[in-house]
Chain A
Amino acid sequence: MDVSDLRTRLQRIRGDTVPLAAADIALIGAIEKGLPLVSRPYAAVAEQLGISEAQVLERLAALRERGVIKRMGVVVRHRELGYRANGMVVWDVPDDAVAGLGQCFSRYDFVTLCYRRPRQLPEWPYNLFCMIHGKSHDEVHQGIARLVRECGLQRVPHEVLFSRRRFKQRGARYHCPERREPPHAPGEAAHRG
């Protein structure tokens, strides 16, 4: 890994975003593990932060408005519900076609995520990623075939990387007081799928 290249790249990406106020960062830290399941969850968060319930609601509304919060609601683990085929499809498309194809992919509801990422030549030639969650490998392959046909990708190299085992999955933690998890943290056991 070329660390200085990565650091520059990350700084460039972050340079495009508006920095958050300290109060917003504290609020995000307080809710990143989820809202408490109590009658007045925002009041509980407010109490923890020493601000009012109304301030929590206003700040969350503003973060949602700005797109910092993409969505709020029930975050579901698909695998537990039978969506066991999780395919990451990676495409090597001409750089000037990435955005158009990204838009095309995002019209299909079986595409759950779609991103542009950098190639890392020579090891990694792919620059467009999408995730397809299906109930079987066949269903994912059918989805890919539709994308190839309907977004015009017949001559574009691609690979599908199915997940085999999940070692860990949880929401991101932005504040890491200690670097390592305690050994055998509950709920982090490996799942085969």
Chain B
Amino acid sequence: MELTDLERHLLNDFQHDLLLTPRPYAEMGERLGVDEQAVIDALERLRECGVVTRVGAVFRPHSVGASTLAALAVPPERLETVAGIVSAYRHVNHNYEREHDYNLWFVATAPDEGELCDVLEDIERATGLPVLALPLLEDYHIDLGFELRWT
């Protein structure tokens, strides 16, 4: 999609340190030389077309609830069906096909470890496949967003 200069700046300049002031979008506009409504409209459009997931917070894993990365080795002919079963859980927020014998990778999150384990067991039962669960042990790189290159 074609992006305006304003949209590019909104995407690149505000991935972190969103201002904790009553009117953050007005402050963003001030830095970019446009008014508050122009910022809100542009963010709305970026969200509607899927370039922006949300304007908000990224939480440190394990600080809120329990979560894990997990994988399944799915026979190729069953991949779409199994992916559909996994995606149907509200607990699952990412679900990707990757090039490997373990070809379906997902992240599951729950309010506590008991519910998380229940969900993973449920997925094992529903798919008939063993889940490889790989919870995060240490985080070496804080996701601060990264510089986008436009060319």
B43 touches A74 (CB 8 A): yes
B88 touches A181 (CB 8 A): yes
B111 touches A174 (CB 8 A): yes
A34 touches B17 (CB 8 A): no
A75 touches B53 (CB 8 A): yes
A57 to B117, CA, bound (A): 34
B147 touches A109 (CB 8 A): yes
Asked whether any CB of chain B lies closer than 8 Å to the CB of A96, the reply is: no
Interface residues on A, range: 35 or more
Q: How many A-B residue pairs have CB under 8 A?
A: 304
* Contact partners of A110 in chain B: CB under 8 A: 146
Identify which of residues 8-67 in chain B touch chain A, using a CB-to-CB cut-off of 8 Å: 10-11, 14-18, 20-26, 36, 40, 43-44, 46-47, 49-60, 62-67
Asked whether any CB of chain B lies closer than 8 Å to the CB of A168, the reply is: yes
A171 touches B143 (CB 8 A): no
Majority SS of interface residues in chain B? mixed
A165 touches B53 (CB 8 A): no
A57 touches B10 (CB 8 A): no
Could you show 10 A-B contacts with beta carbons less than 8 Å apart?
A33-B54, A37-B43, A41-B25, A69-B58, A70-B144, A77-B53, A106-B141, A116-B136, A133-B146, A164-B98
Residue ranges of A at the interface with B (Cβ–Cβ < 8 Å): 1, 3, 6-7, 9-11, 13-14, 17, 20, 25, 28, 31-35, 37-43, 53, 57, 60-61, 63-64, 67-77, 80-81, 86, 88, 98-99, 102-103, 105-106, 109-118, 120, 123-124, 129-130, 133, 135, 159, 161-176, 178-181, 183, 187-188, 190
A sample of 15 more A-B contacts (CB under 8 A), given A77-B50, A170-B53, is: A10-B66, A31-B56, A42-B20, A60-B20, A69-B58, A70-B59, A71-B16, A71-B144, A74-B15, A75-B52, A102-B138, A105-B140, A114-B141, A170-B93, A190-B83
Residue ranges of B at the interface with A (Cβ–Cβ < 8 Å): 1, 10-11, 14-18, 20-26, 36, 40, 43-44, 46-47, 49-60, 62-69, 80, 83-84, 86-100, 102-103, 105-107, 109-111, 113-117, 119-121, 124, 130-149
